[in-house]
Protein backbone atom coordinates (compact mmCIF):
# COMPACT_ATOMS: atom_id res chain seq x y z
CA UNK A 1 0.00 0.00 0.00
CA UNK A 2 1.31 3.38 -0.95
CA UNK A 3 4.25 2.03 -2.97
CA UNK A 4 2.63 1.93 -6.43
CA UNK A 5 2.29 -1.83 -6.50
CA UNK A 6 -0.42 -4.32 -5.73
CA UNK A 7 -1.28 -4.96 -2.11
CA UNK A 8 0.05 -8.25 -0.82
CA UNK A 9 -0.75 -10.42 2.18
CA UNK A 10 2.02 -8.89 4.31
CA UNK A 11 0.75 -5.34 3.70
CA UNK A 12 -2.82 -6.29 4.51
CA UNK A 13 -1.95 -8.23 7.65
CA UNK A 14 0.27 -5.41 8.93
CA UNK A 15 -2.41 -2.76 8.41
CA UNK A 16 -5.27 -5.01 9.53
CA UNK A 17 -3.56 -5.85 12.81
CA UNK A 18 -2.63 -2.20 13.34
CA UNK A 19 -6.00 -0.58 12.61
CA UNK A 20 -8.66 -3.21 13.32
CA UNK A 21 -9.51 -4.66 16.72
CA UNK A 22 -11.44 -7.56 15.19
CA UNK A 23 -9.08 -8.34 12.31
CA UNK A 24 -8.81 -12.10 11.83
CA UNK A 25 -6.50 -12.32 8.86
CA UNK A 26 -5.93 -12.42 5.15
CA UNK A 27 -6.85 -15.68 3.43
CA UNK A 28 -7.26 -17.26 0.01
CA UNK A 29 -10.84 -18.02 -1.01
CA UNK A 30 -10.73 -21.79 -0.53
CA UNK A 31 -9.21 -21.62 2.96
CA UNK A 32 -11.81 -19.06 4.09
CA UNK A 33 -14.83 -20.83 2.61
CA UNK A 34 -13.83 -24.34 3.65
CA UNK A 35 -13.12 -23.24 7.24
CA UNK A 36 -15.89 -20.65 7.62
CA UNK A 37 -17.75 -22.47 10.39
CA UNK A 38 -14.56 -22.48 12.49
CA UNK A 39 -13.79 -18.80 11.81
CA UNK A 40 -14.21 -16.37 14.69
CA UNK A 41 -16.33 -13.25 14.45
CA UNK A 42 -14.37 -10.42 12.87
CA UNK A 43 -12.95 -8.89 9.72
CA UNK A 44 -11.37 -11.06 7.03
CA UNK A 45 -9.68 -9.89 3.86
CA UNK A 46 -10.07 -12.69 1.33
CA UNK A 47 -8.52 -13.13 -2.08
CA UNK A 48 -10.76 -14.24 -4.92
CA UNK A 49 -8.33 -17.00 -5.85
CA UNK A 50 -7.44 -20.22 -4.05
CA UNK A 51 -4.27 -21.01 -2.09
CA UNK A 52 -2.57 -22.64 -5.09
CA UNK A 53 -3.06 -19.59 -7.31
CA UNK A 54 -1.20 -16.28 -7.45
CA UNK A 55 -4.07 -14.07 -6.25
CA UNK A 56 -6.13 -11.55 -8.15
CA UNK A 57 -8.50 -9.35 -6.13
CA UNK A 58 -9.20 -8.68 -2.42
CA UNK A 59 -12.64 -8.75 -0.81
CA UNK A 60 -13.76 -8.02 2.74
CA UNK A 61 -15.93 -10.45 4.69
CA UNK A 62 -17.21 -9.64 8.15
CA UNK A 63 -18.48 -12.48 10.29
CA UNK A 64 -20.71 -11.44 13.19
CA UNK A 65 -23.32 -12.95 15.50
CA UNK A 66 -21.58 -16.33 15.17
CA UNK A 67 -22.44 -17.00 11.57
CA UNK A 68 -23.94 -14.00 9.83
CA UNK A 69 -21.79 -12.59 7.06
CA UNK A 70 -21.36 -9.24 5.34
CA UNK A 71 -19.41 -9.01 2.09
CA UNK A 72 -17.71 -6.06 0.41
CA UNK A 73 -16.21 -5.77 -3.07
CA UNK A 74 -14.70 -2.46 -4.18
CA UNK A 75 -16.00 -3.17 -7.72
CA UNK A 76 -19.49 -4.05 -6.42
CA UNK A 77 -19.50 -7.17 -8.60
CA UNK A 78 -21.33 -10.36 -7.74
CA UNK A 79 -18.81 -12.11 -5.50
CA UNK A 80 -19.99 -15.52 -6.68
CA UNK A 81 -18.66 -14.68 -10.15
CA UNK A 82 -15.07 -14.46 -8.87
CA UNK A 83 -14.89 -17.96 -7.46
CA UNK A 84 -17.62 -20.64 -7.41
CA UNK A 85 -16.68 -21.52 -3.81
CA UNK A 86 -18.28 -18.27 -2.63
CA UNK A 87 -21.68 -19.76 -3.54
CA UNK A 88 -21.36 -21.93 -0.41
CA UNK A 89 -21.62 -18.80 1.78
CA UNK A 90 -24.79 -16.98 2.77
CA UNK A 91 -23.88 -13.28 2.87
CA UNK A 92 -25.30 -9.79 2.48
CA UNK A 93 -23.70 -7.63 -0.20
CA UNK A 94 -24.59 -4.16 -1.48
CA UNK A 95 -23.82 -4.01 -5.19
CA UNK A 96 -25.18 -0.52 -5.81
CA UNK A 97 -21.98 1.41 -5.04
CA UNK A 98 -18.38 0.89 -6.12
CA UNK A 99 -15.12 2.57 -5.20
CA UNK A 100 -13.01 1.26 -8.08
CA UNK A 101 -13.66 1.13 -11.81
CA UNK A 102 -13.22 -2.46 -12.95
CA UNK A 103 -11.74 -1.20 -16.23
CA UNK A 104 -9.01 0.77 -14.42
CA UNK A 105 -5.57 -0.57 -15.37
CA UNK A 106 -4.19 0.54 -11.98
CA UNK A 107 -6.40 -1.76 -9.92
CA UNK A 108 -4.21 -1.65 -6.84
CA UNK A 109 -6.51 -0.35 -4.13
CA UNK A 110 -8.74 -3.35 -3.46
CA UNK A 111 -6.76 -4.49 -0.40
CA UNK A 112 -6.84 -1.02 1.13
CA UNK A 113 -10.54 -0.62 0.27
CA UNK A 114 -11.30 -3.96 1.92
CA UNK A 115 -9.54 -2.87 5.11
CA UNK A 116 -11.47 0.41 5.00
CA UNK A 117 -14.74 -1.54 4.83
CA UNK A 118 -13.69 -3.36 8.00
CA UNK A 119 -12.89 -0.04 9.70
CA UNK A 120 -16.33 1.31 8.82
CA UNK A 121 -17.94 -1.80 10.32
CA UNK A 122 -15.95 -1.46 13.54
CA UNK A 123 -16.72 2.24 13.93
CA UNK A 124 -20.36 2.36 12.77
CA UNK A 125 -21.64 -1.22 13.07
CA UNK A 126 -23.82 -3.18 10.71
CA UNK A 127 -26.13 -0.31 9.81
CA UNK A 128 -23.20 1.98 9.09
CA UNK A 129 -21.55 -0.67 6.95
CA UNK A 130 -24.74 -1.24 4.98
CA UNK A 131 -25.27 2.49 4.38
CA UNK A 132 -21.89 3.21 2.83
Tens of pLDDT, residues 10-19: 999 999 999 9
CA-CA-CA-CA torsion sign (125, 126, 127, 132): positive
Q: What local confidence, expressed as pLDDT, does residue 74 receive?
A: 87
Distance between CA 75 and CA 80 in Å, rounded?
13
Q: What local confidence, expressed as pLDDT, does residue 1 receive?
A: 46
Distance between CA 1 and CA 14 in Å, rounded?
10
Is a pLDDT exceeding 50 seen at residue 51? yes
Question: Residue 116, Cβ neighbours under 10 Å: how many?
Answer: 18
Reported pTM: 0.89
* Least reliable range by pLDDT among 24-33, 59-68, 73-82, 98-107: 98-107
Beginning with the edge strand found earlier in the chain, give each strand of the sheet holding 92-93 in spatial order. 23-28, 42-47, 58-64, 68-72, 92-93
**Average pLDDT of the residues of the chain:** 88
Q: What local confidence, expressed as pLDDT, does residue 110 receive?
A: 86
Q: What local confidence, expressed as pLDDT, does residue 4 receive?
A: 52
Instruction: Give the residue-averaged pLDDT of 46-63.
Output: 95
Least Cα distance to 73 among 29, 20, 35 occurs for 29
Least Cα distance to 48 among 33, 64, 62, 63 occurs for 33
Amino acid sequence: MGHNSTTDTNDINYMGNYFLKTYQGCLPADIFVNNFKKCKNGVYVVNTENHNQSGQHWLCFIKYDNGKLLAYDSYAQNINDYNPLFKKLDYWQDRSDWEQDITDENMKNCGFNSLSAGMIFEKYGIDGFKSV
